[in-house]
Structure formats: C-alpha cells, structure tokens
Amino acid sequence: MLFVIRCFLCILSLLLIIVPISKADEKVIHAVKIDKSLSPKIDGKLDDECWKKAGVTQGFIQVRPTYGEKPKEDTKVYIVYDEKKLYVGVECFKDDPNKVFASQTKRDSGFFHDDYVEVFLDTYHDHRNCYGFAVNCIGTQSDRRVANEGSIGGGGGPMDDPSKAWDCAWEAKTSKNSNSWIAEMAICFSELRFNKNCDGVWGINFWRGNMQFDEQDTWADVGDRQLAVSKFGHLDGLSLKDIDTSQKVEFKPYATIKPKIAPEYETKPDIGVDIRYPSSTITADFTINPDFGQIEADPERINLKDVEERLTEKRPFFQEGMELFQMPMELFYTRRVGINDLMFGAKAVGKLGGFNFALVDCQSNDVKEGDDTTKDETDNNYLVFRTQTDIGSNASVGVMAINKQKEEGYNRVGGVDFNIPLPLDGRFIAQYTKSWFPNKDDDAFIFSLKRRTRSLSFEIGGGDIGRNFEVESGYIPRTDRRGGNASIGYEYRRDAKIFKMVEGEASYERLENHDGIKTNESRRIELRADIYHFFMSVGPEWYQRTDDFDPNIIYTDRTVFFFTGFFPPKWVSIMCPTMIGKQEGKKTLFNGLGINIKPFQQLRLEAGMDRLDRKGDPLMLNRRFGASYQFNQQMSIGSKIELTREGKRYIFAIYSWEFQPESNLFLVYTDDKEVGMKTERIFFFKVAYLLKFGLF
C-alpha cells in the first residue's frame, strides 16, 4: 500500500503542474435589471413590457446527432431580473408546432423523449458546481444541483440521479403559438447559494431538447458533456449587493394516523417536525421524529451479480444536498441509517470562502432483520463531515470524516479525494481512506484516469482495499481486494431517421486478495445500436471468481446479456432484458419484461416481470403492475402490486396533494404479505403544513 500511495503522489504532482485547460471562445449574455413593478407575469407568454428590454442571445449548436452543426430550428433566450428573482424566457422556434412532444407530467421526471429547455447556473462561478432548472413543453418542472461537473455518479435520488433529489420553489409556465413554443421561468435568488460580494458574473448555459429531430442543442460549446460547467458561458450585469436574499425560517410540522386493520386492529398517531433555516451561503435542516410512511417499499428484484445490490434513497431528509457527499468510494450510504426509525437528524450544507461543506448528525433506533448487509443495530449515532475546496481553475480536493457510535463501540472513517480535469475531456480521480474499529484498522486506495465523451471513451483504474477495511456507514461491495480495470468505448451517431447510433465497449478487470490469490477476473464486450426507436444491445461476458467463503472453490461464468427496447416518443415503451449462459456452474436463463403505456398525458399504466431459471435452484418469478394518474404537478394518485412465486404480495396505493407550496396531504394503503406470515394491512394519513417566520 505504501508503494501505491507514493506512486499516486508522484502522478498527482505531475497533474497539478499541467498547463491550465484551454477554453473555447466564451459566450456572454447580459442580465438587465428591472423595477419590481415591471416584473413579468409567469404565464408562458413573452408579452410583458420588460421582455423588450431583456438581454437576448441566440447561436445554439448541436451536441447530437451532429456535434457542432447548426440546429435545424432556432432558439432565442431572454433574461431580466429584479431584487428578488431571475427571469428567463426561452422561445423555441418550430416550423410545425404540432410536432412538439411531451409525456412527463410528474416533477423531476426524466425528459428523455420530451421537448424541453434547461437553464444551468454556476452561481459561485467556480467552474465546477451548478444548479439546473428544466421544463418541458407542457410545463412539467425538474431541478437539480450538480457537484464537480457531475463527474462522480451514484444512486440515491429520483431516476437514480442524486442531483435531482434537490428541490426548490421556482415557477415555470409554457405555451404554444403558430411558430414556436415558449418557456417562461422565475427563479428566486433566495433559493440559491452565492457570494453577494462577488463581481456580479455567474456561469450560465442553456440547453434544448428537440425531439422531432432527436436533437440536443447547447448555447455554450461544452463539447460532448452537458455538465461541463468549466465551459459554460457568462451571465453578467448582476448587481448582487442589491438583491434581496432574505429567507424566513421554515417550520413544517406533521401529524399521522396509522390504523392497522390486520392481522389485528391497532391505531398509532404520531407527530414530528422539520425545520429549515436558509441563507445565501448556508442551509441548515433539522428533523425530529420524521415519518416516511408515504414512501413505497423497494421493489422486489432478482440480483444477478455477486455483490450486494445498491438501493436508491427515497427519504427527503437524506436526499437534499447529498451531492456533496459523492466520492469514488461511497463512505456515506444513507440506506444504512435509520432503516425503520430515525429519531432525529440535523444537517448544514453551504459554502464558506473557497470551501464547500456539509455536516450531518442523525440518530437511529431500530433493528432490521434479514440481510446482514443492510442490518442497522439499535441506538446508532452518525456524525458525518464533508468539505471540498478548489485547486487551480478546475480541480478540487475533498475530505470526509464519519463517526458511527454504537453501544458496543464505534466505526470511524476518514478519507481524502482528488478530482482533477485534464485536457481532451480527461479526468483523474483518486481517493485514500482509512477505517478504525476498537481493535483493528485498515486502509483503502483507488484511482481512475478516464475520458467520457460521446465518441471515444476510456478508463484505467486500480486500487487496494485492505483485508480489515470496513465502513459500516458506506457502500463498499468488496474488501480484501487489490487490482485494476480498464475499459474502452466508441460511439458513432448520425443524423438519420432509421439507423441513428452504434457504439461498442470492451472492459477487463482483475482482482486478488492480500494472500496473492486471484479472486475476480472478468472480460466483457458490449455492442449497442439505435434503429428507429429500437434500442438493442448484446454483451458476452467471461467472469471467473472464487467462492466468498472458500477460495478453493472457483466459479467460471460464461453469459450473454441481451437487451431490446422500443422507445417511441408517445404512447408505449417496452423493455426486454435477457441473460443466458452458466453461473456458479449451473445453466442459467433470466428473462425480463417491462411495459409502460400512456393512453394520454396524465395516465400511466405499467406491467413487468422478472424470471430466473437456474438449474438445481427453485424458479424465481416476480410480477409487478402499476397505474398512476397525474391531475397536475400538485395532485396525483397511484397504485402498485407486486407478486412473487414464493407467495409474497405487496400492494401500495397513494393519494398525494400539495395543497399549497410544500404543504402536503397523503392518504396511503398498504397490504403486505410475507411468506409464512400473516397479512398486514395499514391505512396511513399524513398532513404536513409549512409555516414561515421571520425570526432573523
């Protein structure tokens, strides 16, 4: 390990003296200040007098299908602001307005097949982090907060995208006319974090999805990466000292009633409160006795891998602001915390000087039976600190420290990570971490040199995870491993109606334990193609590994994974994953099917099935059915049914109404039958009401 760390420090020293990355000609749009009396009415129409005075820009370029080409249809952007809000108007010209597509009506949905626009704001102008505000052509909103140019992924939020877990209060309306569709947005300055004493220049970019031509357009030339914050244009003319960022303290008390009607009648009322104090630089959140009964259970899945499946975080307290906790090795996996009962939690996230920071303290009080990998013992306190600072113009270094205090001891973790962009869209990422228990400690180190673009991509990585390295608060799939991996991929995309894209990727990984025994080795090739709304892929894989409990037992898996999907802009989508081959010395066949039907915009129907037939093992079969109706962004109903071959049944139904901003009513019914256990039926009523007080 010492030799590896010395090599890493040598590489890091070389990278830090590299000549700064050159930038293309940067675009600028001027923000025009208006009096509050002239503020526009947010109705999706740019007919207010203030828009005639706005800063205006055009000149978008294609990102796909043909990078750098002029878009088939123009886009024009307008910007004004008053002392409280930034107003953005986007006019998306269309030769045929009837060919504007949208299907998503739920907030924070993925606009994969919708006409939409998105505004990105780098409010600290640090060329690393940004906010994103998107709206599709029927007015559905999506917002996110992105750290480190989105260079570190991971689950945890909606659509498996942790950046979209962040929500704020902003307005957006859309409209259509004879030659365009229009989006009009109002973003409160009080919802953003920034330095009021800076020079009044922010980073900014605008993005448009034009689905008639399967086209993605950008204002600033960001290359192949939408989240290349370092290549954004500039928004100038902001008089930040005159902006009102005052925020009221938010109290959100809730009350619940849970009448259990089976197997025996029982009523359980409860109360709790969420508190938030926002400012222009720091946001503090507190929760006491939170209740997440309106959140549906994790779906039943068949795990085809030899490591624990990573589950997404659905609880709002953990979702908000968690993008700063992203590291190459995930040291804070919130699904380990408060699985059944979170007593309280406190969190502060913000930026002071050149340091981004996040601090979390929470107390759990529960026991989860079953899978040891997600077991959480009674009375655990988690104290987590994360800070990140800038190096040079684009690089950053971060530190994280975690203390899990248990009744019988502790588990402490400390780590440092580096994130360094390189020329030609390259990036170097590395992390060193050490864990401590009362009677043992160990360390881990990983690094990755990668280039991810829509043309040529590659990654070379490696690491050394110690034999006794253990992070009870994190997601570390394997310990006692060292080795490396490499992958290379290429994508070819063309402007066509039929044959649109083909790409291929090859990867290799080899790991051994600290006794020098090879434990894992894999070789994989995958080919993908997009042909007129059909997406197809095939991926043969050879994978050799030792048994987790007996290294003398060696499995050689030979499998082929197939995927076929049909994703037209409207009405229906179909997904069919299949795997065939040999796993653990047994013939294996996995079939999956997923169907989503949208008879009209508000209604969504879905059905799915997963089936695993492995010779010598019981047949595994999961079936799921669902329906949802979105009255508007504030009100929806939905239901879900899951059935397994073993006899497990799960029914979940919910009515959700946001009767005023951030005040909610939930009506929930669950019907849960475990194998060999009595059926449990619960009604759940929850009301949360937001109160704001000007205490400071």
pLDDT in tens, 363-405: 987 554 444 444 445 688 999 999 998 887 778 899 999 999 9
Neighbour tally for 307: CB within 10 Å: 12
More confident residue, 159 or 418: 418
pLDDT band at 11 (very low <50, low <70, confident <90, very high): low
Assign 279 to helix, strand or coil: coil
Q: Are residues 558 and 646 in the same domain?
A: no
Range of lowest pLDDT (102-111, 148-157, 209-218, 483-492): 148-157
Do the Cβ atoms of 434 and 468 come closer than 8 Å? Answer: no
Flag whether pLDDT at 521 surpasses 70.
yes
Q: What is the number of structural domains in the chain? A: 4
Considering only CA atoms, which of 89, 31, 422 is closest in space to residue 237?
A: 31
Cβ pair 328, 152 in contact under 8 A:
yes
Q: Note whether residue 482 is domain-resident.
A: no
User: What's the chain's length in residues?
Assistant: 696
Select from 634, 658, 663 the least CA-distant residue to 250. 663
Instruction: Give yes or no for a contact between 665 and 689, defined as CB atoms under 8 angstroms apart.
Output: no
Residue scoring higher pLDDT (498 or 13): 498
Question: Given a cut of 70, is residue 446 above it in pLDDT?
Answer: yes
* 535-561 mean pLDDT: 93
Share of the chain above pLDDT 70, in %: 92
The answer to whether 300 and 642 are in contact (CB under 8 A) is yes
Q: Are residues 440 and 505 in the same domain?
A: no
* 409-421 residue pLDDT tens: 899 999 999 999 8
- What value does the mean pLDDT take over residues 478-500? 91
Please indicate, yes or no, whether residues 316 and 365 belong to a single structural domain of this protein: yes
pLDDT score recorded for residue 156: 35
- Yes or no: say if 528 and 537 are a contact pair by the CB < 8 Å rule: yes
Classify residue 98 by burial, with Cβ atoms within 10 Å: 0-12, 13-18, 19+.
Answer: exposed
Same domain, yes or no, for 234 and 104?
A: yes
Specify the range with the lowest mean pLDDT, choosing from 128-142, 288-302, 339-353, 510-524: 288-302
Within this chain, do residues 552 and 638 fall inside the same structural domain, yes or no? no
> Which band of pLDDT confidence, cut at 50, 70 and 90, is reported for residue 276?
confident
* Domain extent for 171: 31-242
In a domain, 262, yes or no: yes
pLDDT digits (tens, 9 = 90+) for 574-596: 999 999 999 988 999 999 999 99
Token couple for 419: 């994130």
In this model, does residue 442 exceed pLDDT 80? yes
Answer whether residue 675 shows pLDDT above 80. Answer: no
Q: Are residues 233 and 255 in the same domain?
A: no
Predicted local confidence at residue 198, as pLDDT? 81
> For residue 256, which of 294, 222, 228, 300 has the smallest C-alpha distance?
294
Residue 290 lies in a domain: no
Pick from 122, 119, 50, 121: nearest CA to 90 = 119
pLDDT of residue 3: 46
Considering only residues 45 and 390, tell me which one the structure prediction assigns the higher pLDDT: 45
Nearest of 396, 326, 315 to residue 355 by alpha carbon: 396
Does residue 11 share a domain with residue 102? no
Q: Which of 125, 323, 321, 328 is nearest to 229 (CA)?
A: 125
Residue 191: closest CA among 246, 126, 136, 233 = 246
Radius of gyration of the chain (CA): 26
- Please, are residues 404 and 472 in contact by the beta-carbon 8 Å criterion? yes
Same domain, residue pair 356 and 260: no
Q: Looking at the structure, tell me whether residues 3 and 130 fall in a common domain.
A: no
For the chain, the average pLDDT equals 86
* Residue that terminates a domain, selected from 578, 602, 626: 602
Q: Average pLDDT in the 98-117 region?
A: 85
Instruction: For residue 275, tell me if it sits in a domain.
Output: no
User: Six-digit token pair at 239?
Assistant: 């008089």
Give domain status of residue 201, yes or no.
yes
Q: Domain for residue 356, yes or no?
A: yes
How do 32-33 and 75-81 pair as beta strands?
parallel
pLDDT over 90, % of the chain = 52
- The whole-number average pLDDT for the span 197-203 is 87
Please state which of the ranges 155-164, 315-324, 350-359 shows the lowest mean pLDDT. 155-164
CA distance 407 to 282: 33
Q: Which DSSP helix (H) or strand (E) runs through 3?
A: helix 2-16
Tell me if residue 199 falls in helix, strand or coil.
coil
Q: Does residue 2 lie in a domain region?
A: yes
Residue 204 in contact with residue 29, Cβ under 8 Å? yes
Q: How far apart are the two ends of the chain, measured CA to CA in Å?
A: 51
pLDDT class for 318, splitting at 50, 70, 90? confident
Do 79 and 88 touch, CB atoms closer than 8 A?
yes
What percent of the chain is helix, strand and coil (3-state, nearest 5)?
Answer: 10, 55, 40
> Do 428 and 574 have their domain in common?
no
pLDDT class for 34, splitting at 50, 70, 90? very high
Residues 654 and 538 grouped into a single domain: no
610 inside domain: no
Q: Residue holding tokens 């044959």?
A: 499
Domain boundary among 448, 477, 506: 477
Looking at 424, 449, 477, the residue that finishes a domain is 477
Which pLDDT does position 695 carry in this prediction? 57
- Specify the CATH number for the domain of residue 220: 2.60.40.1190
DSSP state letter for 520: E
Indicate if 522 and 457 belong to the same structural domain.
Answer: no
